[in-house]
Structure 1
Amino acid sequence: MKVIPFKVPVTQAESVTVNEDILPFFYGHVHRHKEMQLTLILKGEGTLIVGNYTQAFKPGDMYIIGANQPHIFRSDDSYYREVAVDNVHAIHIFIEHENTLQFLSNLPEMEFIKKLMDNTLPGLQVPDEYLAHASRMFLKVNRVSGFKRLITFIKLVRYLTEEVKHYKSLSTGHDNMPFSGPEDNRMNQIYEYTIQHYSENITLERIAAVVHITPHAFCKYFKKHTRKTYKHFLNEVRINEACKKIINGDFDCISSIAYATGFNSPINFNKVFKKMTDKSPSEYIKEYKHNWDNAVRMLKEPA
């Protein structure tokens, strides 16, 4: 899919740029920029794509995305159908990688900055148990400005690098494959068709016909450009959608989620869900309810 070069609106007066988005839906294009990005989701659900990796996102999540890493926070389709000015709310911190971070990392006292630069290139998600404290610091960066913002940001980075353990990596383990020209359109067609029809029986013959090639050629083409099989990608999309249904409370029972997301049986759904998330659907529901209660309580607390 096409990756758009994105220009972060920066000010010459500050090294750390903060954008607060209160919008009908998140920016709807895969893009990249030279700045490292930290994002805190306060409102809104959808699918996060970072390079070749996809997963559902929800309120309370915090992500670190490396410089020049293609990504998109794609809002659920419902946000486009039911438009409101404040459907989504997120805060993004941007800091220039080559100059500002590099300069700070050269200071002996700032060795942890280099650790952040080295470890965040593929993208990371902050684990749930650290979100309360990290989010309070994050919100404070948004409230202050000038030198206070830089110092507060440095304190946040120090916490993220020295205190937070066991990050979730947003990486497939492979380098990203850049697309250009006709490949932009072809991969975008595959992606969009899958998003629109994931609940249906998408055979190889059916998806290959979307881009007018044979099933055998399609398998080779998709694996070459994504480093994964189409079946694996389709299962990722389906499990992401299942997670979003759980997040939104849009289900009657686990079996209803299975059939609504394109699985032919609850047994197969449970197997794939466990493989993708390391949790059973029932464990995920229980954990989400617990984390949601904590996130709401944390966001109401003064920073």
Structure 2
Amino acid sequence: MKPVLEYLPKDAEESFVVKSFEYTYYPTPWHFHPEYEIVLVTESTGKRFIGNNISNFQPGNLALIGPNLPHLYRNDVPYYEPNTDLRAKSIVVHFSENSFGHIFSSMPEAKQIKELFRKSVQGLEITGNTNKKASELLFELLELSGFARAIKLLEILQLLAASADCHFISGGGLTGINEKESERMHKVLDFLMKNFANDISRTEVAKVANMSDNAFSRYFSQRTRKTFAQYLNDLRLSHASKLLVSGEKNISEICYECGFNNVSNFNRQFKLHYGISPLAYSKTYWDKVG
């Protein structure tokens, strides 16, 4: 089976993605992505497929997965039973070397981390005291934002790079690049980026992917871990956050420019996503820089 492409979108002010996920079972199929991934299982058990390796996972399982290395976390049978109270939780970080500009190519001090990246193409299992410390840092990472968050990720990477507790998972030479899959997803994301401010429907975007509505709905949610409506809403809010800190438009102008049909809905959606109102978001930014 060919792996599918997964895409975790970043917010406007992010250079990498940090997410805490909770499901009844992990939904993502056999997949790949061009980013590096750190994944910490915080709750649930099952089988982990990384490259050509199959092993068990349980809470505390921690891995660094290199770019385009196909992988799948499949929960044990009870997680798929109707009305189960079991939960599958994880902390996931997606990043690329470009997330840090030219730091890894220009700094001799980054030599260990560059070697860590080279090894990660086979996947790395993190065990022992390094697992314990890195797990603690990942929980801290979830609570941070801005430059402090980037520094914390570098701290985690340096910890892994200097440790002897990182062990190869898969054999070498296996990658999951699927050109047809990548091209289709690129068309969809490009269309959304160009048209998110318009009144676009799932049916319209499904046609871009040359798929039926229902097939596209499953396709999109498996690859982005969001429904189409959630992704479109987040894309609009991300653009709104950029406009708010530019200081060039008022709340009403930003609302309609980002594709929302009324200001009250925009305010409600923005507060749900960012925890504060658009006006407070703008004021907080200008208070910091002013």
TM-score, reference length from structure 2: 0.57
Partner amino acid for 2:168? Answer: S
**Misfit runs of 4+, over 3 Å:** 82-86, 173-181
Aligned to 2:106: 107
Distance 2:158 2:134 in 1: 11
- Residue by residue over 1:140-179, the C-alpha shift from the partner in whole angstroms, topping out at 9 and shown as x without a partner, is 11111111100010011111101x2042211134535878
**Is 2:5–2:178's contact at 8 Å kept on the other side of the alignment?**
no
- Residue by residue over 1:103-122, the C-alpha shift from the partner in whole angstroms, topping out at 9 and shown as x without a partner, is 22123232233122111111
Q: Alpha-carbon deviation of 1:69? A: 1.0
Q: Which runs of 5+ in 2 are unaligned?
A: 181-290
Aligned to 1:38: 38
- Residue by residue over 1:9-59, the C-alpha shift from the partner in whole angstroms, topping out at 9 and shown as x without a partner, is 212311221111111110241011111000111100111111211111110
Residue 151 of structure 2: SS of its match in structure 1? helix
Q: Does 1:17 align with 2:33?
A: no
User: For 1:118-157, what aligned pairs fall within 5 Å after superposition?
Assistant: 118-157=118-157
Q: Does 1:7 align with 2:2?
A: no
Q: Alpha-carbon deviation of 1:92? A: 0.3
Q: Alpha-carbon deviation of 1:96? A: 2.1
User: For 1:163-178, what aligned pairs fall within 5 Å after superposition?
Assistant: 164-176=163-175
Structure-2 change in CA distance of 1:173 and 1:115 (3 Å): closer
Aligned to 2:59: 59
Q: Does 1:92 align with 2:92?
A: yes
**Is 1:22–1:85's contact at 8 Å kept on the other side of the alignment?**
no
Partner amino acid for 1:48? Answer: R
Residue 159 of structure 1: SS of its match in structure 2? helix
Distance 2:179 2:78 in 1: 30
Structure-2 change in CA distance of 1:172 and 1:78 (3 Å): same
Number of residue pairs the alignment of both structures matches: 179
Partner amino acid for 1:107? Answer: S
Percent of aligned positions with the same letter in both sequences?
Answer: 24
- Residue by residue over 1:200-230, the C-alpha shift from the partner in whole angstroms, topping out at 9 and shown as x without a partner, is xxxxxxxxxxxxxxxxxxxxxxxxxxxxxxx
Partner amino acid for 1:65? Answer: I
User: For 1:47-86, what aligned pairs fall within 5 Å after superposition?
Assistant: 47-84=47-84
**Is 1:95–1:101's contact at 8 Å kept on the other side of the alignment?**
no
Aligned to 2:184: none
Distance 1:178 1:153 in 2: 26
**Is 1:48–1:73's contact at 8 Å kept on the other side of the alignment?**
yes
**Is 1:52–1:176's contact at 8 Å kept on the other side of the alignment?**
no
Q: Alpha-carbon deviation of 1:180? A: 9.9
TM-score, reference length from structure 1: 0.54
Residue 20 of structure 2: SS of its match in structure 1? strand
User: For 1:112-261, what aligned pairs fall within 5 Å after superposition?
Assistant: 112-162=112-162, 164-176=163-175
Partner amino acid for 1:129? Answer: N
Structure-2 change in CA distance of 1:101 and 1:114 (3 Å): farther
